[in-house]
Structure 1
Amino acid sequence: MAAGTPPPAALRAALESDAWFASCDAVLRESLFERARLWRLAGGERLFARGADAEGLCCVCAGALRIGAMQADGSESLLAYVEPYQWFGEISMIDGAPRTHDAVADGDTAVLVVARAALHDWLREHPAHWRDLARLACAKLRMSFGVLEDIAHLPLEARLAKRLWLLAHGFGARESARRVVRLPQEQLALMLGVSRQSANKALRGLEAQGWVALRYGEIEILDLDALPKIAALPRNPE
């Protein structure tokens, strides 16, 4: 991993596209940007490993990261696929415990990292902004509860529709949806905890309805409004 460098000034505007970052007070946004360093990773390179000490709050700026872990039996689990300009790493920032998963670059990737010690020092002087980190963590906790409920109550095709909708919206980070989800079916199957064959069958079902188009390494969403209906999703999640 190449050494961190100060982020370019032009990156400020792009960061505003993230709903959480945009909702933070200007003084916190400025503090994060000033203390951030840009790290570049090659495909397959780890940003951090499960069990490692927390180094800071992070935001993908280019490329993507796979958040998951290798299990004892050699199988891989995939918790999330993080794209620009989603922030993560707040759990270890809050509790100081080690990282819960691996973060691996999916192709060439750039990540902003705000060092934990530097941010803690600033928050010591501005304690009201701890609430903003808590908001970031709570949004993901709400989503995790939803995923657990989906596993118990939704058929695979509905779970898949919901996951595609969430991916298109950056798991709530983007107000404007991305119509093309660049995620291989194999990775999508890992996120849902099913076989690739099962995921492909469910995707073919959505494709037969004219809601998605399957292409190599990506899925184009043709009817974004249909996905919330099949998954019983509210249009504007809290």
Structure 2
Amino acid sequence: MDVRATPVTTGRFNGADTGDPLIQQAAWVARSVGRGSAAPLTPRDLSALAAYLHRQTLSRGAVAFREGDPASRVWIVRSGHIELSVGSGDEHTVVEIRHAGDVDGDIQFLLDKPLPYTARAADEVELLYLRAADFERLMSEHRALARRWLASIAGRLDASQMRIMDLLGKSLTEQTAQLLLDEASSEVVPLPQRTLAAMLGVRRPSLNRVLKRLERERLIEMRYAAIEILDPDGLAKKARGDAGH
């Protein structure tokens, strides 16, 4: 597929001319998967990454991959949101939302495991991907890129572990407040209540009662398929279970 997307940046990135749309795309991916100071990429690294990137667009509700599929691609969300869920129908549970810059499929590929969830577009989505064989070639031939990707994997696993630990023993109100803070972009959570309820593993009426209580306290304002955070500090106190708020 054509990888020429809307330019991300112009100028130079670690010595590489980013006027080329392919290099622009590669530079954006490089920033998404790790800290530049920890593993700066050479122009050769960026050129190699650009050569293997492909693009795919999905309309709302379309599936990128399904639970149980082999990890044949490494995915990077370029724009939009991807809903990761397990199960099917009314019994499905949303385990996480992938945002722009998030990566998926690389850990399963490296561990030779099938994908553990279904990835579905929550809105209009643009994805970049590397075929598994190309990803393996890049990791073996480009040391700086491999190091950067390893840091990305470690960071994602650490964040997932911390999120689980943070939720242990918390009330539904505390869990809801923390989830809203985690999923907010510019103080807006662009997700419907059904998705938030599935992510928390509760029924929608139970979540709705908590949200209405938070709205009465002027911490949030509910909109159609979105929630605006009015008082981030107050919501953070609620997530911590601080008395008096």
TM tier, shorter chain?
0.7 to 0.9
In the other structure, the counterpart of 1:188 is 196
SS at match of 2:232: coil
* TM-superposed deviation, 1:157: 1.1
TM-score, structure 1 normalization: 0.81
Query: What's the C-alpha RMSD, in Å, of the aligned pairs?
Result: 2.7
Distance in 1 (alpha carbons) for counterparts of 2:160 and 2:183? 14
TM-score, structure 2 normalization: 0.78
Any conservation in 2 of the 1:64–1:106 contact (CA below 8 Å)?
A: yes
Match of 1:126 among 142, 165, 174: 142
From the superposition, tell whether residues 118 and 156 of structure 1 become closer, same or farther in structure 2 (CA, over 3 Å). Answer: same
In the other structure, the counterpart of 1:26 is 41
> 1:53 is matched by which residue type in structure 2?
P
From the superposition, tell whether residues 37 and 18 of structure 1 become closer, same or farther in structure 2 (CA, over 3 Å). Answer: closer
Distance in 1 (alpha carbons) for counterparts of 2:31 and 2:209? 33
SS at match of 1:197: helix
SS at match of 1:11: coil
> 2:2 is matched by which residue type in structure 1?
T
Q: Which runs of 5+ in 2 are unaligned?
A: 10-23
> 1:8 is matched by which residue type in structure 2?
A
Residues 1:80 and 2:96 are matched in the alignment = yes
Q: Which runs of 5+ in 1 are unaligned?
A: 169-176, 234-238
Distance in 1 (alpha carbons) for counterparts of 2:141 and 2:68? 29
Q: How does 1:18-57 map to 2 (within 5 A)?
A: 20-21=32-33, 23-24=35-36, 25-27=40-42, 31-57=48-74
> 2:229 is matched by which residue type in structure 1?
I
From the superposition, tell whether residues 207 and 40 of structure 1 become closer, same or farther in structure 2 (CA, over 3 Å). Answer: same
Distance in 1 (alpha carbons) for counterparts of 2:2 and 2:229? 36
Distance in 2 (alpha carbons) for counterparts of 1:140 and 1:76? 23
Match of 2:126 among 80, 104, 110: 110
Cα shift readout 1:175-226 (whole Å, capped 9, x = no counterpart):
xx52211100010000011111111111122212211110110001112233
* TM-superposed deviation, 1:108: 2.6
* TM-superposed deviation, 1:103: 0.6
Residues 1:226 and 2:234 are matched in the alignment = yes
* TM-superposed deviation, 1:140: 2.7
Distance in 2 (alpha carbons) for counterparts of 1:195 and 1:11? 40
Distance in 2 (alpha carbons) for counterparts of 1:101 and 1:8? 27
Q: Percent identical across equivalent pairs?
A: 24
Residues 1:163 and 2:179 are matched in the alignment = yes
Any conservation in 1 of the 2:77–2:101 contact (CA below 8 Å)?
A: yes
